[in-house]
Amino acid sequence: MNRMIRLVVVSICMAILAIVLMISVTHISLVCAATESPSVEANAKDSSLQQKERVLAILTIGKSTTTVERSRTILEEILEKDENKFCREASAMALGILCDKKAIPKLKQSLKDDFGNVKMRAVWALAKMGDKSGKELALETIKGEDVTAQLLAVEAIEAIGDKDMIDELKKNLDSKNVWTKIHSKLAIKRLEIQGLSEAEKLNFLEKTLKDNQLEVNRWAAIELGKRGTTEAINILKQATKDRENPGNYSARKILQRLVEMGKISKEDLQR
């Protein structure tokens, strides 16, 4: 029964993760030309629109390169006053993308938001601007019960990049909260890789790909896939040939995705 419950929880968390990652990467595919459109600003503020439309508009505003002052003002207003917590979250993230340091005071205020996602997006945004004042909050959040906020805390901790957090995170590896253990281990890996040479990073990822924890070896596989070099692809291919490698499944999924994206061919996998 415990195993079944854990599988259900994992499935739910993976669905949450997919939503989180969708929000995180959506801005990359947005059309920058739309950034200055009055309709985008109107959509960002219009509470009668569907949440998805508003979030996309908010993230688009964060991509502004010519109207930074106006974009910051709009995003700060949404962050401070909007009743939709996901729009406030998107605003915090958009401010991090905009990276205007004048937004730091409003972002610091949002560290007291009732919604964990908003707080962790704000910590991440502050870190992108060189402000690490949310470090303790991120470390505390990863020990909490909100799994999504924990995951966002991992991203915030990575952005902060202080390796002195590793010792504190290691204390969580004996936690009774399984997700605290998993996310703390993931955060440690994402800190440890920072500052390494590219060759050292490949060795580190190859070793991490063998980690018994799915979330950890999946992160390693994703990072290798992002690199897409011959060396990185070979590490993934070797993992798929070793059934004893805990990262076998993660490596296969990433290679499959790279084939679907046209980054590598099916023939490449046979070589």
Weakest mean pLDDT among 10-19, 114-123, 143-152, 197-206: 10-19
Residue 248 above 80 pLDDT?
A: yes
Residue 16 above 90 pLDDT?
A: no
Residue 9 above 80 pLDDT?
A: no
pLDDT band at 37 (very low <50, low <70, confident <90, very high): low
pLDDT band at 269 (very low <50, low <70, confident <90, very high): confident
Alpha carbons 212 and 46: distance in angstroms, whole number: 46
- For the chain, the average pLDDT equals 88
Residue 271: what pLDDT? 75
Residue 119 above 80 pLDDT?
A: yes
Residue 270: what pLDDT? 77
pLDDT band at 266 (very low <50, low <70, confident <90, very high): confident
Residue 130 above 90 pLDDT?
A: yes
- Span 198-207, pLDDT tens digits: 999 999 999 9
User: Whole-model pTM?
Assistant: 0.83
Which residue has better confidence, 63 or 123? 123
Q: What percent of the chain has pLDDT over 70?
A: 86
Q: Of 60, 50, 69, 77, give the one whose Cα is nearest residue 23.
A: 60
pLDDT band at 67 (very low <50, low <70, confident <90, very high): confident
Stretch 42-60: mean pLDDT? 94
- Span 152-196, pLDDT tens digits: 999 999 999 999 999 999 999 999 999 999 999 999 999 999 999
CB 115 within 8 A of CB 88: yes
DSSP state of 176: S
Alpha carbons 107 and 97: distance in angstroms, whole number: 13
Q: What's the gap between Cα 166 and its chain centre?
A: 18
Q: Of 149, 97, 148, give the one whose Cα is nearest residue 126.
A: 97
What tokens does 218 get?
């999946």
Alpha carbons 206 and 269: distance in angstroms, whole number: 18
